[in-house]
């Protein structure tokens, strides 16, 4: 029984790790396409640069139209 539990745990961890890596790669790709710089440790520099107004949306954030709906 212990061997079965250990095998299932190892497979579950490996599956989670693969899914996590895929998610992180997808998010990094979306941030880069939006113009943000993704650094190795996962930090992100804004797409609009350091001199952007303080109320500028975050990188890859959907902008809002005049009626408040996201575009």
Q: Where are the domains of the chain?
A: 2-41
Contacts 24+ apart (CB under 8 A), 16-24: none
**Element containing residue 22 per DSSP (H, E):** helix 2-33
Instruction: Tell me the three state secondary structure of residue 36.
Output: coil
Mean pLDDT, to the nearest integer, of 3-8? 96
pLDDT of residue 21: 92
pLDDT of residue 37: 75
CA 64 → CA 34, 53, 61, 71, distances in Å? 16, 16, 9, 6
pTM of the model: 0.51
pLDDT of residue 39: 72
Instruction: Tell me the three state secondary structure of residue 64.
Output: strand
Mean pLDDT, to the nearest integer, of 8-30? 93
- Tokens 């895929």 sit at which residue? 22
Question: Which tokens sit at 37?
Answer: 């710089």
Tell me: pLDDT of 31 over 90.
no
């Amino acid at each position: 029984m212990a061997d079965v539990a250990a095998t299932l745990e190892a497979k579950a961890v490996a599956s989670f790790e693969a899914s996590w890596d895929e998610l992180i790669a997808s998010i990094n790709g979306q941030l880069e396409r939006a113009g943000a710089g993704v650094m190795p440790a996962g930090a992100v520099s804004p797409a609009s640069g350091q001199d952007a107004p303080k109320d500028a949306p975050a990188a890859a954030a959907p902008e809002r139209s005049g009626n408040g709906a996201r575009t």
